[in-house]
A and B are shown apart, each in its own frame.
Chain A
Amino acid sequence: MTTPSTQMLLDPGMDLTLRPMRYPQFFDRFKDAIKNTWTVEEVDLHSDLADLAKLSPAEQHLVSRLVAFFATGDTIVSNNLVLNLYQHVNSPEGRLYLSRQLFEEAVHVQFYLNLLDTYVPDADDRAAAFSAVDNIPSIARKAEFCFKWIDSIYSLRTLSSKADRRAFLLNVICFAACIEGLFFYGAFAYVYFLRSRGVLHGLASGTNWVFRDESMHMAFAFDVVDTVRKEEPDLFDAEMEQQVRDMLSEAVECEVQFAADLLEQGVSGMSLADMREYLQHVADRRLQVLGIEPIYHSKNPFAFMELQDVQELSNFFERRVSAYQVGVTGSVSFDDDF
């Protein structure tokens, strides 16, 4: 084995040197993320209030549960990032990306804070929504799952043994595949369902930006896993595969019981059976990315999800166009190709 401090992505070691750069792809992700900068003030929640009043009680229940989950979800991810990921990713360019991610999670928290303040005018109701982790069982169950995996490596100061390194990988995979990749993607489906029906534009446009960020977080985490796989292939054994599969099965269960709560009163166009199939399908996809056999072989039943896979075109006078970049570079010249 070569010296970990200079050759490996995972600690031990504290690499502070950006040149020569060992993982330029992490740096590129950092730069791309900056171009996606958005602020909460850009999201116009005006028309959402009128829409909320028009929704059926069943749909209102769905929305209130959903935002209650959002209110705490990103905070949990931030905590894991600081307490676990940042410590053990031994690459300054990787930590640049993680710093950026931390900023983005903070913006997301601010967005959902703003959203709840707007959606839930009553102070007591609002307090209840913010403490969903304690008083809404379907959300508490998901939070417990997250805490279990945060705690699993919290006491590790360095990843000295193979067991430590595997434990760390499981944490990364859990947050990428299960929390950002399944819990958030489940939430994504509800938002997409609502926006495909033309309601809650504010929620939709803010969440669209959130998901654009989340997609990058997940891709970064999987990139970390792939990099470690190349550097230390022997970490990925049958036992770990099984652990990942078990982890995803449990995550699917958590999310299905959440769906049962959300859809409890009957929402036309989104049945619990379809939602379960969707979640299984997403879980299979996460396994496939990790090179692991799928569990469920389920198909995506939600055709409206296709809408998120194609370019958007907004009428500027109806929607704020979200397809612009910040941080454009270059200087004035007159003979560039265009």
Chain B
Amino acid sequence: MQVRKRNGDLETVDVNKIVKAVERWVADLREIDPLRVATKTISGLYDGATTAELDKLSIQTAAELIGEEPQYSRLAARLLATYVDKEVRLQGVASFSQSIRYAHQQGLIGDETAEFVARNARKLDDAIDVDGDLRFEYFGLRTVADRYLLRHPQTREVVETPQYWLLRVACGLSQTPAEAIGFYRLMSSLAYLPSSPTLFNSGTRHTQMSSCFLVDSPKDELDSIYERYHQVAKLSKFSGGIGIAWSRVRGRNALIRGTNGKSNGIVPFLKTLDAGVAAVNQGGRRKGAACVYLEPWHPDVEEFLELRDNTGEDSRRTHNLNLANWIPDEFMRRVEADEEWSLIDPSDAPELPDLFGAEFDEAYKAAEKKAVKKVKARDLYGRMMRTLAQTGNGWMTFKDRSNALSNQTGVPGNTIHLSNLCTEILEVNSDDETAVCNLGSINLGAHTTAEGGVDWEKLRATVRTAVVFLDRVIDINYYPSDQAARSNPRWRPVGLGLMGLQDAFFTLRLPFDSDAARELSTRVQEEIFLTALESSVGLAEQFGAHPAYAETRAANGDLHPELWGADLGQPERWTALKERIAEHGLRNSLLIAIAPTATIASIAGCYECIEPQVSNLFKRETMSGEFLQINTYLVRELKARGLWTGPVREQIKRAEGSVQGLAELPADVRELFRTAWELPQKALIELAAARAPYIDQSQSLNLFLSAPTIGKLSSMYLYAWKAGLKTSYYLRSRPATRIQQATVSIAPVEAVACSLENPESCEACQ
């Protein structure tokens, strides 16, 4: 077998050469068999392949062994890092500052960052942690390499290594080299990561670093609707996720005075929005995405709930839009009391989207005499549940609670009209102000050890750094629309989130639904919020309170935990904080939001945000391909018990990642390693409600039911509403049947005849 070298020469493939390349990286990885990687690589090769193909194949081969031994993930990551490194070096880049200069020449890096780096080249070059890449798992590094590293505009080769990338991100937000290096070290340790738009764009020519944009509903007129399409396209182009309300636009059959015609309702307009979102692809790095919010009194709400169905007329379906219900309490009360619900055209009651609480209730009841249609509240609620079960979409978010507790709704006229694409951001907006939020998440797993528990001092230090750099984004950010540029400097909101909660629970051996887990998650959230507020006061002391501070509840001395009515864990610190706020105000109107962290948790190698593990063994599907994910905490446990064997692995695979059938494991271990599907969802809601007093925006709370029914769902979401949650996110469920497994052994013929679903007809059980 021969391979073609970069210079065109043919060379015989040498197993030993591959073995050596692998051995270089396995000093701390004792379970790796370099020869196995080498021989498997060669068996997948064809005669005349290039050496680049050989390198890629060895990475892939190592990655494919992760299911047997998780250490292969580290190996694959290191082989990939070497590959990337080579690609960068071959373009003549030998240091961080050279990579910035080179990328600046290619028009990728902004002038200011280029100058900052040129001025401080020595210090910054020396700061690069040469072992930094050793911390990555394969999936994380692959994601970084495929989508985060800057590429040459023509050759498409990467022009920065992973560590250069993180330092570039830090430099884009820093004023001094010391500051940049400190922030770089925090990110490089994977203890904190800003959100993807910041990781994509910091230091570049287009510094759009915010994740979320909340666009108010277009006004009930054509010009406004088309202005919104334009705005959404601009926001989407620069990696923003979009929430947009649509409650102000009149429904089907409403009179259009100008032409004396009847409206076709909101669906055709949403179809146009759908196509617009699909057309703009966020610089090729991910698809554009938007979520439309509608209040359930809108006359077209029933058609709205069908937009994601996979049957019916395609001109009335939107395959790319996400859907959310923005629900006033009055609706939930009528559902509970089994009363009627009126659908009212916004052209008859244009004030409704701007009201909440008692004022909304009053205006709604007054408008009911103009109702277009009456339905049973429960029927409509049932349809919402059906949409959730069948599409996962149609998120339940609660308008009154979101507004009543918000720091931004301190004066009349300021209303939150919707949440964002991931239901964790709650900010006021209006026709000429689009709310913006930039995000980052703390990796709690990286702040927790089995012996010491949570390292509170380290956690506080991380929060302080994070708040400074989240706040910094507001001033440096490039705003793709005027409406966004107007709102953000006034309110200066940020969203500091959390990821790796499940890692901390595994490390400390706390079952997800235990009292101790709930207590810890609440304490962590209080610590983060307190420290974030303290940092924001500090910034206010230096730079002044944010301009709209007088319109906030904090200006009246009301902070979120009190509005919630929580029992404070650290009352003295809160008292001291309030005194400082009274004196200096706050630099940021909002500080905390728990985002889903899908991509950055992958990079950090931790579990997503506040979620339980979905399975002990599963795959992630992303634009980079498919990646096997295995619970390394479980593997460690099984190894310690001598149970990490072929048959046990197969049993876990056969059970789709569940260990509940592993009789060899003691009950408490099985309890610890339950999956999201095996946990009571009530516990997830209770955990969320317990930490919610310390989240001034909201949290992306997914719920999991393998086989949802309308009964279960309606009970669950009523419970979530009563628990006081502001928002919920996806309902995750599982397909009715699955593709036949190809890599587990065949059960004997007799067992196939057993059908547990039909015990009465099953001879095997009788």
Task: Give A residues with C-beta under 8 Å from B.
Answer: 23-25, 28, 32-33, 35-39, 41-42, 44, 46, 185, 188, 195-199, 201, 208, 211-212, 215-216, 218-219, 222-223, 226, 230, 263, 266-271, 273-274, 282, 285, 288-291, 300-301, 303-338
Nearest-neighbour CB distance to chain A for B611, whole angstroms, equals 10
Alpha-carbon gap, A301 to B753, bound state (A) = 30
Q: Which residues of B contact A336 (CB under 8 A)?
A: 709, 711-712, 714-716
B680 CB-CB contact with A under 8 Å: yes
Q: Which residues of A contact B657 (CB under 8 A)?
A: 310-311
Alpha-carbon gap, A199 to B286, bound state (A) = 14
Q: Which residues of B contact A330 (CB under 8 A)?
A: 709-712
Which residues of B from 526 to 585 have beta carbons under 8 Å from A? Answer: none
Contact between chains at B757 and A326 (CB < 8 Å): no
Which residues of B from 36 to 77 have beta carbons under 8 Å from A? Answer: 43-49, 53-54, 56-57, 60-61, 64-65, 67
Chain B residue at smallest Cβ distance from A205: B621
Alpha-carbon gap, A253 to B492, bound state (A) = 68
Alpha-carbon gap, A291 to B753, bound state (A) = 12
Known A-B contacts: A33-B736, A313-B629, A324-B391. Give 11 more (CB < 8 A). A23-B761, A25-B755, A35-B736, A198-B146, A274-B44, A289-B746, A301-B43, A308-B739, A310-B618, A317-B286, A332-B710
Contact between chains at A334 and B336 (CB < 8 Å): yes
B464 CB-CB contact with A under 8 Å: no
Contact of B680 among A188, A285, A319, A338 (CB under 8 A): A338
B349 CB-CB contact with A under 8 Å: no
Contact between chains at B615 and A328 (CB < 8 Å): no
Contact between chains at A324 and B67 (CB < 8 Å): no
Q: Which residues of A contact B389 (CB under 8 A)?
A: 324-325, 328
Binds A, one of B10-18, B339-347, B380-388: B380-388
Interface size on B, as a range, is 35 or more
Binds A, one of B252-260, B586-594, B726-734: B726-734
Alpha-carbon gap, A310 to B627, bound state (A) = 11
Nearest-neighbour CB distance to chain A for B719, whole angstroms, equals 8
Contact between chains at A315 and B622 (CB < 8 Å): yes
Q: Which residues of B contact A208 (CB under 8 A)?
A: 739
Binds A, one of B173-181, B298-306, B309-317, B438-446: B309-317
A33, A218, A268, A326 pick with most chain B CB within 10 angstroms: A268
Contact between chains at B319 and A25 (CB < 8 Å): no
Nearest-neighbour CB distance to chain A for B458, whole angstroms, equals 29
Nearest-neighbour CB distance to chain B for A306, whole angstroms, equals 5
Alpha-carbon gap, A195 to B718, bound state (A) = 40
Chain A residue at smallest Cβ distance from B320: A44
Alpha-carbon gap, A195 to B619, bound state (A) = 12
Contact between chains at B710 and A218 (CB < 8 Å): no
Alpha-carbon gap, A115 to B479, bound state (A) = 39
Contact between chains at A329 and B710 (CB < 8 Å): yes
A-B contact pairs, 11 of them (CB 8 A): A41-B310, A44-B319, A195-B625, A226-B752, A267-B46, A271-B44, A303-B64, A312-B619, A314-B621, A338-B713, A338-B716
Q: Which residues of A contact B287 (CB under 8 A)?
A: 317-318
Contact between chains at B45 and A268 (CB < 8 Å): yes
Which residues of B from 635 to 692 have beta carbons under 8 Å from A? Answer: 653, 656-657, 680-682
Q: Which residues of B contact A188 (CB under 8 A)?
A: 742
Chain A residue at smallest Cβ distance from B65: A303
Alpha-carbon gap, A338 to B684, bound state (A) = 11
Q: Which residues of A contact B310 (CB under 8 A)?
A: 37-39, 41-42, 326
- The 8 tightest CB contacts between A and B, nearest first, are A198-B625, A303-B64, A266-B46, A35-B736, A330-B709, A330-B710, A328-B389, A215-B740
Contact of A317 among B45, B241, B719, B734 (CB under 8 A): B241
Q: Which residues of A contact B378 (CB under 8 A)?
A: 332
Q: Which residues of A contact B746 (CB under 8 A)?
A: 285, 288-289
Alpha-carbon gap, A28 to B392, bound state (A) = 24
Contact between chains at B736 and A311 (CB < 8 Å): no
Interface bits B355-383 vs A (CB < 8 Å: 1, else 0):
00000000000000000000000100110
Alpha-carbon gap, A313 to B737, bound state (A) = 16
B614 CB-CB contact with A under 8 Å: yes
Alpha-carbon gap, A230 to B146, bound state (A) = 54
Contact of B749 among A35, A270, A289 (CB under 8 A): A289
B30 CB-CB contact with A under 8 Å: no
Known: A269-B57, A274-B44. A322 touches B735 (CB 8 A): yes
Contact between chains at A310 and B43 (CB < 8 Å): no
Q: Which residues of B contact A332 (CB under 8 A)?
A: 335, 378, 381-382, 385, 710-711, 714
Contact between chains at A305 and B715 (CB < 8 Å): no
B758 CB-CB contact with A under 8 Å: yes
Contact of A271 among B46, B64, B708, B755 (CB under 8 A): B46
Chain A residue at smallest Cβ distance from B44: A269
Contact between chains at B653 and A196 (CB < 8 Å): no
Alpha-carbon gap, A329 to B657, bound state (A) = 27
Contact of A328 among B146, B421, B709, B718 (CB under 8 A): B709
Alpha-carbon gap, A269 to B310, bound state (A) = 36
Alpha-carbon gap, A291 to B750, bound state (A) = 9
Known: A271-B45, A300-B742, A338-B682. A39 touches B598 (CB 8 A): no
Contact of A196 among B47, B278, B626 (CB under 8 A): B626
Contact between chains at B64 and A304 (CB < 8 Å): yes
Alpha-carbon gap, A290 to B753, bound state (A) = 12
Contact between chains at A215 and B738 (CB < 8 Å): yes
Q: Which residues of B contact A219 (CB under 8 A)?
A: 740
Alpha-carbon gap, A267 to B47, bound state (A) = 10
Q: Which residues of A contact B739 (CB under 8 A)?
A: 208, 211-212, 215, 308
Nearest-neighbour CB distance to chain B for A43, whole angstroms, equals 9
Chain B residue at smallest Cβ distance from A287: B746
Chain B residue at smallest Cβ distance from A329: B709
Known: A311-B614, A328-B710. A198 touches B744 (CB 8 A): no
Q: Which residues of B contact A44 (CB under 8 A)?
A: 278, 319
Contact between chains at A315 and B618 (CB < 8 Å): no
Alpha-carbon gap, A20 to B572, bound state (A) = 72
B617 CB-CB contact with A under 8 Å: yes
Contact between chains at A334 and B718 (CB < 8 Å): yes
Known: A216-B737, A336-B709, A336-B715. A268 touches B615 (CB 8 A): no
Contact of A32 among B54, B289, B736, B760 (CB under 8 A): B736
Q: Which residues of A contact B740 (CB under 8 A)?
A: 215, 218-219
Contact between chains at B67 and A311 (CB < 8 Å): no
Nearest-neighbour CB distance to chain B for A299, whole angstroms, equals 10
Nearest-neighbour CB distance to chain A for B732, whole angstroms, equals 7
B390, B739, B748, B757 pick with most chain A CB within 10 angstroms: B739
Contact of B625 among A38, A196, A335 (CB under 8 A): A196
Known: A198-B146, A215-B739, A226-B752. A28 touches B757 (CB 8 A): yes
Contact between chains at A212 and B737 (CB < 8 Å): yes
Chain A residue at smallest Cβ distance from B623: A318
Nearest-neighbour CB distance to chain B for A10, whole angstroms, equals 17
Alpha-carbon gap, A44 to B288, bound state (A) = 14
Alpha-carbon gap, A41 to B241, bound state (A) = 24
Alpha-carbon gap, A185 to B739, bound state (A) = 11
Chain A residue at smallest Cβ distance from B290: A317
Nearest-neighbour CB distance to chain B for A324, whole angstroms, equals 6
Contact between chains at B656 and A311 (CB < 8 Å): yes
Contact of B626 among A307, A320, A325 (CB under 8 A): A307
Nearest-neighbour CB distance to chain A for B364, whole angstroms, equals 21
Contact of A269 among B60, B311, B705, B737 (CB under 8 A): B60
Nearest-neighbour CB distance to chain B for A103, whole angstroms, equals 13
Contact between chains at A41 and B314 (CB < 8 Å): yes
Contact between chains at A268 and B56 (CB < 8 Å): yes
Interface bits B211-253 vs A (CB < 8 Å: 1, else 0):
0000000000000000000000000000001000000000000
Known: A218-B740, A333-B711. A312 touches B618 (CB 8 A): yes
Alpha-carbon gap, A168 to B739, bound state (A) = 26
Contact between chains at B618 and A311 (CB < 8 Å): yes
Q: Which residues of A contact B752 (CB under 8 A)?
A: 222-223, 226, 289
Contact between chains at A25 and B758 (CB < 8 Å): yes
B46, B386, B748, B755 pick with most chain A CB within 10 angstroms: B46
